Structure 1
Amino acid sequence: MTKNGPLALVFNALFVVFLVSPMMLVCLVAFTSEDYLALPTNGLSLRWFYRLGEYPEFMESFRTSLGVALASAILALLFAVPAGLAIARYRFPGRETLNALFMSPLMLPHIVLGIAFLRFYTEIGLSGTTAGLVIGHVVIVFPFAMRIIIAGASGMDKRIEDAAASLGASRVTIYRRIILPLIVPGVASGFALSFIQSFDETTMTIFVASPTTTTLPVRMFNYIQDSIDPLICAVSALLILLTVILMIVLDRLYGLERLFVGEGRS
């Protein structure tokens, strides 16, 4: 195994700094004592975190985003797992056409999807409902989940299933005891990516959300339009903190490498 040279280590370090710097700046601005976005600041303060208590709609929108993202990711996986396994493991007429159809939301701008959903929901009476919001998010995140499931299922050795079948295992047993455990990393990665994509979705959601189903990104977008102050940085800092805590908990309970790559702890 070759070791990275000094130039490679410097490049990797600069790349990590490039990725982390925006988040660090947002977190630093969240602690400013000024009434405006300022860095460097004249002093540190928690005033903007306390101010969040004056805006309960942010917490309400967070709960909405959390529920919609969970529902969308779960529903997307329920469809993506069988669809991905079928496309990755079998050859049948129309396979490529079906795959292109499933991937088509990736080729459409989200603003086009938002307008289309708005018109469609208005016609069928789903405009401004949570169900309509979840359906729209499922359409958007489904391709991400299915691509990862296909990638995970393509590397499976079918001889393992043949061996289990020769020993008398039924199709249900093979699916439950062999196929599903082998694609757990793909399912976990698909769920995580779908959840993040749904939670962060703004463009399409603006068109289909209502005052009672406003997600957190839309709430933040609307707030920035009216005022620019460090309150948004405080919200962003809390989201970053929650993400870090979630990653640590998952790593302690299961192991991120095992969860997303499929390898056990060394």
Structure 2
Amino acid sequence: MKRSSPIAVTLAFLGYVVMIVPILFVVATAFTDGDALTFPPEGLSLRWFEAAISYEPFTRALVSSLQLALISTVLALGIGIPATLAIMRGRLPGKSVVEGLFLSPLILPELVVGLALFQQFMIHLEMDNFRTLLIGHTAILLPYTVRVTGASLALADPALEDAARGLGASAWRSFWTVTLPVLRPGIISAALLSFVTSFNNVPISLLLQSRDFRTLPVTMLDYVQQNYTPIVAAMSTLLLAGTVVLAFAAERILGFARIFGGINR
């Protein structure tokens, strides 16, 4: 059995510390009984959680974020799944180029994407904020959809689909009975990953927001620029708890390690 290098173990430990310790500070601050963001917390209380849930700008922005994340996730899956099938199973010329185009939003700064959308859609085409936001979020979710569903499809044996067609199944029936069951874990994983990515997005949402439609991360960012109460820490803790529960449930049901393991194959 190969033993890990002490340097690699130390670097991994330091990486976990850098990522986790700031989160623990935020969570601890959310339970403070004081009136300001201070650490260590001044006593223990749940009053800031109640304040976060009842704060109307946060609840309104939460509904907006959920709406935007759900619709953009559905659109990304609707575009990404057929694209994945065409890239990995079809006879598409220039497959590597097409795949690179779908993955390109990963290497472009989101501020650049947001600025381009603002100039082209909102200024030149005079499109409203919500539809522009929807286009932007869908674009940044496509790489996750194509990559994760592609990982699931890479784990499948193409001979199964050929066998189904050889036994007389049509292409549509072969897709529903053979291909889709193979893709299902990847589709659900891509949907969860896309939803969380869209919900937590700040750069594009910040550039394309309006007074009538504001997402929760942007609303929280605006709040901390003018206030120092722990209500933001409480809301962040609630969102963190929801994300952890969602990820744990998905891991128990689907097994993310099995799905994402296929990405490197």
TM-score by length of 2: 0.86
Aligned counterparts of 1:113 and 1:16: Cα–Cα separation in 2: 30
Q: Does 1:124 align with 2:125?
A: yes
**Number of residue equivalences:** 259
Match of 2:33 in 1: 33
Match of 1:210 in 2: 210
Contact 1:148 1:187 in 2 (8 A): yes
Aligned counterparts of 2:92 and 2:145: Cα–Cα separation in 1: 22
Match of 2:61 in 1: 61
Q: Is 132-141 or 37-46 further displaced after alignment?
A: 37-46
Match of 1:233 in 2: 233
Alignment deviations for residues 187-218 of structure 1 (CA, whole Å, 9 cap, x no partner): 12211111111111101111111112100111
2:127 counterpart letter in structure 1: L
Match of 2:104 in 1: 104
Alignment deviations for residues 19-65 of structure 1 (CA, whole Å, 9 cap, x no partner): 43332221110011222221212311223223225521101111111
Contact 1:153 1:183 in 2 (8 A): yes
C-alpha displacement of 1:132: 2.2
Alignment deviations for residues 5-31 of structure 1 (CA, whole Å, 9 cap, x no partner): 8x79x8677765654333222111001
Contact 2:58 2:216 in 1 (8 A): yes
Aligned counterparts of 2:255 and 2:29: Cα–Cα separation in 1: 30
Aligned counterparts of 1:99 and 1:244: Cα–Cα separation in 2: 31
Q: What is the percent sequence identity of the aligned residues? A: 37
Relative distance call for 1:157 and 1:76 in structure 2 (3 A) is same
SS of the counterpart of 1:183? helix
Relative distance call for 1:226 and 1:247 in structure 2 (3 A) is same
Contact 1:30 1:231 in 2 (8 A): yes
Match of 2:83 in 1: 83
1:36 counterpart letter in structure 2: A
Relative distance call for 1:189 and 1:28 in structure 2 (3 A) is same
Aligned residue runs from structure 1 range 44-59, under 5 A: 44-52=44-52, 55-59=55-59
RMSD between aligned residues: 2.7
Alignment deviations for residues 80-135 of structure 1 (CA, whole Å, 9 cap, x no partner): 1110111122343232222222222222211111111112223223232x222211
Aligned residue runs from structure 1 range 1-266, under 5 A: 19-52=19-52, 55-119=55-119, 120-128=121-129, 130-247=130-247, 249-250=249-250, 254-256=253-255, 260=259
Contact 2:250 2:256 in 1 (8 A): no
Relative distance call for 1:188 and 1:116 in structure 2 (3 A) is same
1:127 counterpart letter in structure 2: D
Relative distance call for 1:199 and 1:259 in structure 2 (3 A) is farther
TM-score by length of 1: 0.85
Aligned counterparts of 1:101 and 1:186: Cα–Cα separation in 2: 21
Aligned counterparts of 1:232 and 1:189: Cα–Cα separation in 2: 29
User: Structure 1: which 5+ runs fail to align?
Assistant: none
1:156 counterpart letter in structure 2: A
Aligned counterparts of 1:261 and 1:108: Cα–Cα separation in 2: 22
